[in-house]
Structure 1
Amino acid sequence: MGKKSREQLQEMKKQPAKRWIAASLAGVLWIMPVLGIEGMPQFSSGPAPIAEAASSFAVTKLGEEVITSGAIMMKYKYTTARSGKAASGLADVIRIDLSNAYVSLDVMTGKGGHLTTRQSTGGMAAETGAVAAVNGDYFNTGGEGAPIGGQVSGGVVVSTPSQLDGMYAFAVTKDRKPVIDEYSFEGLVTAEDGAQFPLSGINKGAYSPEGGSSTYSHANAAYIYTDAWTALDRPKNSSTTPTEVLVENDIITQISADKALPMTVPKGAYILRTHGLGAQFVKAHLVVGQKLSSVYTLRSKTTKQELDPASLQMMIGGHTILVNNGQAATFSRSTSSIGGYRARTALGYSQDGRYVYVVAVEDNANSAGMSLTELQSFMTNIGVWKGLNLDGGGSTTMVDRPLAETSTTLTFNTEYGTEQRSIVNGVGVYTSAPQGEVKGIKISGSSAMLIGQKASYSLKGYDTYYNPIDVASGNPSWTSSNGSVTISGGEATAVKAGTATLTAASGAATASTKVTVLGGENLSSLTVGTATAPLTAGASVSVPVTAVAQNGSSLTVPPASLNWELIGFKGSVVDGKLTVDSVDPGVTTGYAIARYDGFSTAVVLSAATATPWEDFENVSYPIAFTSNVSSVTGTAAVMAGSAEKAGSKVLSLSYDMTAGSGKMYAYAQLNGSSGKSIPAAATSMSLDVMGDMSLNWLRAEVVDGSGAISYIDLAKVIDWNGWKNLNIDLSGSGIKFPASLKRLYVVNVEEGQDERAKTGTVAFDNLSFVMPSLSSEAGLPKGTAAMSIGSKSITLNGVKKPIDVAPIVKNGSTYVPIKVVMDAFGGSASWDKNTKGILVLRGAKALDLTVNMKEFVLNGKRQSAEVAPLILQGRTLVPLRLVSEQLGLTVKWEQKTKTVTIES
């Protein structure tokens, strides 16, 4: 900033009539959008607590990988104690070496570098060519899509800091020095007649200020909106009538008194939006054709020094300071609204200013998240000298480019799995290194395969700057070390269990990788997408099979790798779909046994029909309307039906989303936060729905006992009026039952929002589920059986009957022929002389045993026992207690009479 600019700003401060009007927001400031969850946390400006270092917090570095010259990815494991219980998790850190001229940081913004156009972290990285990236600043989820804090990219101000206390920002200067500080904005516009008026900000949404005289950010104020702001509202909900001025090349070309200009900001121009006293200034001093100049700067709240935005390579806003001088800092702002154990995002730098640390804490199936206090401990552990908090929770997303790859991938699963939330900005890591010489090559592809599976492998290289370089154009040759895997032109086929080394050669360079073909003995479980199905001619269900290796990796089993055995019915399994053609006479429970290299799992089929679940005639639990956006209103209630539903009750959901923005939800919430129970595994769902032709999306939310949430698409588009019956296949949904139906709801997604109605009413009636497992145990014999060691008889419900082989005791365990148990309590057993395997079926249980092996498989899960089946005098005997208890029977032993009693 030049001398004249500073003088103008100083003069501005001396003029009471033109006092500083601080930027601020109307109403409540919402942060961290929560998809599918009622309500959103808000900032609190109350007293900030003293941050205390987390006790018993330990950090272990698991490894590191180069992303590009000057940037490495480091993975850490942390362990801690929470309320006396151990907790652990994972954190990922990108360390950028600012002394390396080839690597740089910059802010990524929405789509096409514009505000008000949200995009995922991965999408922004792909669009801008970042080699790694993380999500950025907090933003108002109900607003247009602009950051709360300041943002500078390449020396150009994209957005200015809001007038909120304790909100820190991270910046890198053009001479590559990192800075973390709290900043205010100071600006001034000057008319051609010399009159001046203060600027309150650039490209800001409406918000409620702190420490100023107004509760509305835009009251009596003037703001600049550049072509980075693409929304027509500048901003919406600004509370007062605007007067807008279009300025092109410092010349006023249009003035719109008491109304907004009906246009977006032209490229290279800006619109001065004014209210109240600002609008009076425009009317009194600005004329079309005259010049209008503007000056502005940032000022440190801690040192009071000016910071010229033009001196910055980048700046991004954050929240509280976390670390200062290598120690946990007192929170600069209340953190009550962002507390708990969540995914976290943070930025920091080393004491010498050489390294920047981009931190992301995982909260997923592998990691327990962190509190802010734990995040402070983690950052000081890894060498952060000064650091601040960025937007966390479901927004936390990191992507990076693996070595030799050409694009970024998700570094870890977010709180929502592989889904990435659309956000307003992020921090990208970029490389300007030239192409170097080939430094190394590697084979890219899976390290594990299943028998029959085909997979593609490619040869990829990286140069002396660790950036990808083409080596595949040399048509590399491929070989496999043995017959477990065959490979041709990079296409591999798994033939049999074992480990093979695949080698690729391109010129003088070679690379190898080991590929393990998993056999049945390498698996810990085999799971079908649906464990139960209806035993009805014509029934068809999806039966995808997933294998989990003993090392924990999960793979989808190719349909061609499975052998299916159908018991109790005629049918087929084709391309992962099981179809029942006919049911054998007298059969009420059937089985589809899937085997992979000897390892089995089962689908249990029973003669189930749709079970009525809710008709809303006698509802005894609360039903409420909720939304993810505070300005979305509506009702959800049981009321009298109409048309063909006249005379009955239905659940009606009405919604009004006209005051909201972004992705909006209108929920009918059942039974508070608990939902209504679905007691058993359901293969399908049926319901009547009254549509409203809104073209919105209709869904249901189901939560299981562990708290895992599943979403059911009822209709991608509500494209009908009146009542319609919907049938939903749940067989491949992956829902773990028993579960609870928590919400029925309408979704208005952000994309193409102008094509869908924002108001409407839908209704629901006659919900039912097909739950086959409720009937698979029906009809099994009940009673008591007693057998004595050495006696060839069994007493069943008081009636004594002969048996072929007497029970024996061996090594403290009782053994019997399995046929004895099956005859008494129902079920069947089959013998495979080739594998010495015994398959026992009873009700909803499928049990696989192998002679002389203590491991067994129950419904697709490998388990261990203390004893194993054996062959004695040509007869196969099974451990009575093991088999009976796995089949749901109770076994008792009487020592005096050496009698075993079995009860069902």
Structure 2
Amino acid sequence: MSEVFMGNSDKKPGRGTGKPAAKRWIAASLAGVLWIMPVVGSEGLPGLGASTAPVAQAAASSFTVTKLGEEVITSGAMMMKYKYTALRSGKSATGLADVIRVDLNNPYVSLDVMTGKGGNLTTRQSTGGMAAETGAVAAINGDYFNTGGEGAPIGGQVSGGVLVSTPSQLDGMYAFAVTKDRKPVIDEYTFEGLVTAEDGSQFPLSGINKGAYSPEGGSSTYSHANAAYIYTDAWTALDRPKNSSTTPTEVLVQNDVITQISLDAALPMAVPEGAYILRTHGLAAQFVKAHLAVGQKLSSVYSLKSKTTQQSVDPASLQMMIGGHTILVNGGKAAAFSRSTSSIGGYRARTALGYSQDGRYVYLIAVEDNANSTGMSLTELQSFMTNIGVWKGLNLDGGGSTTMVDRPLAETATTLTFNTEYGTEQRSIVNGLGVYTSAPQGAVKGIKISGSPVLLIGQKASYTLKGYDTYYNPIDVASGNPAWTSSNGSATVSAGEVTAVKAGTATLTATSGAASASTKVTVLGGEDLASLSIGTSTAPLTAGTTVSVPVTAVSKSGASLTVPATALKWEMVGFNGSVQNGKLTVNSVNAGVTTGYAIARYDGFSTAVVLSTAAATAWEDFENVSYPIAFTTNAAGVTGTAAVVAESAERAGSKVLSLSYDMTAGSGKMYAYAQFNGTSGKSIPAAATSMSLDVMGDMSLNWLRAEVVDNAGTTAYIDLAKVIDWNGWKSLNIDLSGSGIKFPATLKRVYVVNVEEGQDERAKTGTVAFDNISFVMPSLSSEAGLPKAAASMVIGSKSLTVNGTKKAIDVAPIVKDNTTYIPIKYVVDVFGGSAAWDQNTKKIMVLRGAKALDLTVGKKEYILNGKRQSAEVAPLILDGRTLVPLRLVSEQLGLTVKWEQKTKTVTIES
């Protein structure tokens, strides 16, 4: 044990902070010393209110875990991928979890805490940003923090052997640490400390570098009331801290000597490098006034203390420490939660830490909640951890904070391991846990080819050859001028540049010296696509019109790729035009044509731009609103306003719909609605394929939606933005083509949702605004001129009756296997549109109104407006004529079919 004086001493930078190493430490008895613990509310902190912690429920026996694979990150660190299956309310749910296993027996790998920007508290940075800044080869997000605070961890933190922040006085908050002799520890810790004046008087320290919070188990509801805290130069914010409900007296100490004292006011400065500020209030401030003076010495001693063993812990004996939440696993079994988990319940992305029974392995765990995974409950997380070998483990900050990055084998930088709840966006947080390597450069162990595994015909892509050494760290092999070959004619390769030639799979091989590597590249053909979409689905049919037409393909496996222009063949119907440099230009319109089509084909797979006399239709710009707009909510305690107001700044002179909300007094899943025209709503008169609007965001991270009731009485909910993650005005475009809404419909309201799960991460107050709502309703123009008619045919009869007039046709409709087939030519002749037959591909392209339908003889799959769909039957050829399934074609083209069994008569109406 040794005494600590806060001033100059031997300095050793810590990786996570870039700050001087902690000075020597002593355990000091605080018996008989006044100990008053502290400050301010913890709104937004998950489960930090005092409560009785429930016992963790036993995990369901139906929870199963399967390892999908593993890959070395660096010597001593392995990335392992898992799939899990859980039974929830009688239904099976699956998801993915990612685990970085660190071998503490390996001398080249280590763990340390990463902190904000530049290693400073109160600065916040993404997990990936901190990893890049500190040179970590892998990392996960860290401790809980008050989202409304400056940016300091709730728990204790030791980085590079330096005590950066002390544990808060909260029950059941566990921490993970690794000792200098590389032993993992999970325990609860308290903090004890004293400052000693030159006259020998002492006062207890309540902590180091702490934000304001509501302590538990003490005599005060405010953490900083009647308390003394040290703030080092790791704390960069001027507020020490903000929202503390206390007025400070502050003391600046440099080189162990008091250089300034500010009575009843904060010092107007950040903490100078190498110095610290003693921040006091109440009884602590009285101590300062009675015993301290400028020019005198001031010393301090402090220690951590295990709540489990009651033993003091020297912070200098720790390599690192990071705070967490409840304990999850103890003794290889699910443990009782050590504090309330009500606010972090549900199925979310999760982050956790644990270690093996022998203390050799540390597990950094991240559970995915994204398009590929359903998240986990805490009890499922306990089951997962015990399944993979965790002996003792705790919960870290999860939900929207859950992030993992890792450096893939042979790569030089870390990348996002999986999409977060916000997609590829990473939330800015206060700290994270990084994995570091100190291995020297070894000999070349292996090489690998990096590049896209999927290409489109005509696409060019660069592939690189990268190597790794005996410690699995990247090593340069490109200087060896590797040789490249491709296995077949699907793709060609030259010096690493691959050109996709035709559909199929090619094997690329690269050789550098004695080492070689191969990878498969799949070139997608039309049969491999699920959809083909054009950035502009409708456009004005006017000479001189120019619109961007980027084309995106989605494969059956879900991969999304931009289609190169060289891979597309365009056909113009109803007008003369061209596509160059990704832009469609209308040169002239054919006489009498009101609807045209620009058909794009990729290896036979089609999609189309529908051009008509009108494209987007303005629906509401809020300049002359003649109906009432009102604020409503679903939850007691939620208040707000919804009104048309005059906007300022960039929209000065314009009126917008403003929706303000305050959900602080509400609970559960909360909604704030801007309701149109009472309960009636406002009509959307025709079939809409897309919706666009301008939205002023408030960075609340809430959910933005619209509610529509269609003409069948069904309510549809339209996601305008899954997360409001922007400030200021932004234009949104929403695809309605797959919504299933039966038009005409009514827009009832637009609204903000704050769901119950992860509510601590989202703002409960805010203001959003709406303007310039438009709908693309091709039927208003492209289908407006389509004929209204009734046509009937009798099975086996070569005649067609249209509006009571009979005429001869050259092929009769038939019934085959309970399906009625007709010649499509006569349908489009009567009801408008066109049908084109391609002898070589056996395809029929049917165009009518806003519909482009591609059928293939003998295939049940068809393509409607660029999306592959499946029918029960396929078109066929009979006696040299092509017949199509009547109900499939008519319903997809918006026609009504009736069947009369007695007379075997089919009637089609529009």
Q: Fold match, TM over 0.5? A: yes
One-letter amino acid of the counterpart of residue 155, structure 1 = G
- Which structure 2 residues correspond to residues 338-737 of structure 1 after superposition, within 5 A? 338-608=344-614, 610-613=617-620, 615=622, 617-623=625-631, 637-638=643-644, 651-652=657-658, 670-671=674-675, 681=688, 685=692, 701-702=704-705, 708-710=719-721, 730=733
Checking the alignment, whether the CA contact within 8 Å between 1:529 and 1:733 is kept in structure 2 is: no
What is the TM-score with the length of structure 2 in the denominator? 0.86
Q: 1:13 to 1:774 in 2, by over 3 A?
A: farther
Aligned to 2:325: 319
Aligned to 1:860: 866
One-letter amino acid of the counterpart of residue 613, structure 1 = E
The reply on whether 1:50 has 2:55 as its aligned counterpart is: yes
One-letter amino acid of the counterpart of residue 473, structure 1 = S
Q: 2:35 aligns with which of 1, 6, 20?
A: 20
Report how many residues are paired.
849
- Which structure 2 residues correspond to residues 751-762 of structure 1 after superposition, within 5 A? none
Please state whether the residue corresponding to 1:394 is helix, strand or coil.
Answer: helix
Q: 2:167 aligns with which of 140, 161, 164?
A: 161
Aligned to 2:2: 2
Residue 715 (structure 1) shift: 10
Residue 577 (structure 1) shift: 3.5
Q: 2:284 aligns with which of 247, 268, 278?
A: 278
Q: 1:648 to 1:572 in 2, by over 3 A?
A: closer
Aligned to 1:660: none
- Which structure 2 residues correspond to residues 25-174 of structure 1 after superposition, within 5 A? 25-31=39-45, 43-55=48-60, 56-174=62-180
- Partner deviation per Cα, 1:382-403 (whole Å, 9 max, x = no partner): 1111111111111101111111
Q: Distance in 2 between matches of 1:731 and 1:578?
A: 22
Q: 1:729 to 1:182 in 2, by over 3 A?
A: closer
- Partner deviation per Cα, 1:686-735 (whole Å, 9 max, x = no partner): 7799xxxx9999999556957645389999878xxxxxxx9x58489999
Checking the alignment, whether the CA contact within 8 Å between 2:691 and 2:773 is kept in structure 1 is: no
- Partner deviation per Cα, 1:12-61 (whole Å, 9 max, x = no partner): 3223xxx11224x4123313xxxxxxxxx663322111111231211111
Q: 1:491 to 1:388 in 2, by over 3 A?
A: same
Aligned to 1:781: 787
Please state whether the residue corresponding to 2:442 is helix, strand or coil.
Answer: coil
Checking the alignment, whether the CA contact within 8 Å between 1:688 and 1:767 is kept in structure 2 is: no
One-letter amino acid of the counterpart of residue 403, structure 2 = T
Residue 678 (structure 1) shift: 9.3
For structure 2, list consecutive stretches of 5 or more residues without a partner in the other structure.
Answer: 6-23, 663-670, 708-715, 742-746, 754-764
One-letter amino acid of the counterpart of residue 261, structure 1 = L
Report the aligned-residue RMSD. Answer: 3.7
More deviation, 346-355/477-486: 477-486
Please state whether the residue corresponding to 1:280 is helix, strand or coil.
Answer: helix
Q: 1:147 to 1:534 in 2, by over 3 A?
A: farther
Checking the alignment, whether the CA contact within 8 Å between 2:422 and 2:723 is kept in structure 1 is: no
Q: 1:175 to 1:502 in 2, by over 3 A?
A: same
Q: 1:474 to 1:714 in 2, by over 3 A?
A: closer
One-letter amino acid of the counterpart of residue 52, structure 2 = P
Checking the alignment, whether the CA contact within 8 Å between 1:95 and 1:356 is kept in structure 2 is: yes
Please state whether the residue corresponding to 1:12 is helix, strand or coil.
Answer: coil
Checking the alignment, whether the CA contact within 8 Å between 1:851 and 1:870 is kept in structure 2 is: yes
Q: 1:634 to 1:275 in 2, by over 3 A?
A: farther
For structure 1, list consecutive stretches of 5 or more residues without a partner in the other structure.
Answer: 32-40, 657-666, 719-725, 746-758
Residue 646 (structure 1) shift: 13
More deviation, 594-603/790-799: 790-799
Q: 1:454 to 1:268 in 2, by over 3 A?
A: same
Q: Distance in 1 between matches of 2:367 and 2:680?
A: 31
Residue 543 (structure 1) shift: 3.0
Q: Distance in 2 between matches of 1:567 and 1:697?
A: 47
- Which structure 2 residues correspond to residues 842-857 of structure 1 after superposition, within 5 A? 842-857=848-863
Residue 324 (structure 1) shift: 0.9
Q: 1:715 to 1:448 in 2, by over 3 A?
A: closer
One-letter amino acid of the counterpart of residue 42, structure 2 = V
More deviation, 365-374/563-572: 563-572
Residue 614 (structure 1) shift: 5.5
Q: Distance in 1 between matches of 2:840 and 2:644?
A: 62
Checking the alignment, whether the CA contact within 8 Å between 1:687 and 1:768 is kept in structure 2 is: no
Checking the alignment, whether the CA contact within 8 Å between 1:532 and 1:683 is kept in structure 2 is: no
Checking the alignment, whether the CA contact within 8 Å between 1:485 and 1:496 is kept in structure 2 is: yes
Please state whether the residue corresponding to 2:383 is helix, strand or coil.
Answer: helix
Q: Distance in 2 between matches of 1:601 and 1:618?
A: 40
- Partner deviation per Cα, 1:277-310 (whole Å, 9 max, x = no partner): 1111112111222211111111111221111111
Aligned to 1:38: none
Q: 1:875 to 1:648 in 2, by over 3 A?
A: closer
Q: 1:492 to 1:416 in 2, by over 3 A?
A: same
Residue 796 (structure 1) shift: 2.3
Please state whether the residue corresponding to 2:82 is helix, strand or coil.
Answer: strand
More deviation, 47-56/93-102: 47-56
- Which structure 2 residues correspond to residues 182-221 of structure 1 after superposition, within 5 A? 182-221=188-227
Please state whether the residue corresponding to 2:521 is helix, strand or coil.
Answer: strand
Residue 820 (structure 1) shift: 1.1
Aligned to 1:295: 301
Aligned to 1:755: none
Q: Distance in 2 between matches of 1:197 and 1:654?
A: 48
Q: Distance in 2 between matches of 1:293 and 1:501?
A: 69
Q: Distance in 2 between matches of 1:70 and 1:714?
A: 38
Q: 2:242 aligns with which of 232, 236, 240?
A: 236
Residue 743 (structure 1) shift: 5.7
Q: Distance in 1 between matches of 2:598 and 2:259?
A: 76
Q: 1:337 to 1:803 in 2, by over 3 A?
A: same
Please state whether the residue corresponding to 1:337 is helix, strand or coil.
Answer: helix
- Partner deviation per Cα, 1:865-903 (whole Å, 9 max, x = no partner): 343333333332223233223323343444443332333
Q: 1:688 to 1:256 in 2, by over 3 A?
A: closer
Identity %: 75
Q: Distance in 2 between matches of 1:269 and 1:430?
A: 29
Please state whether the residue corresponding to 1:289 is helix, strand or coil.
Answer: coil
Checking the alignment, whether the CA contact within 8 Å between 2:462 and 2:496 is kept in structure 1 is: yes
Residue 604 (structure 1) shift: 2.5
Please state whether the residue corresponding to 2:30 is helix, strand or coil.
Answer: helix
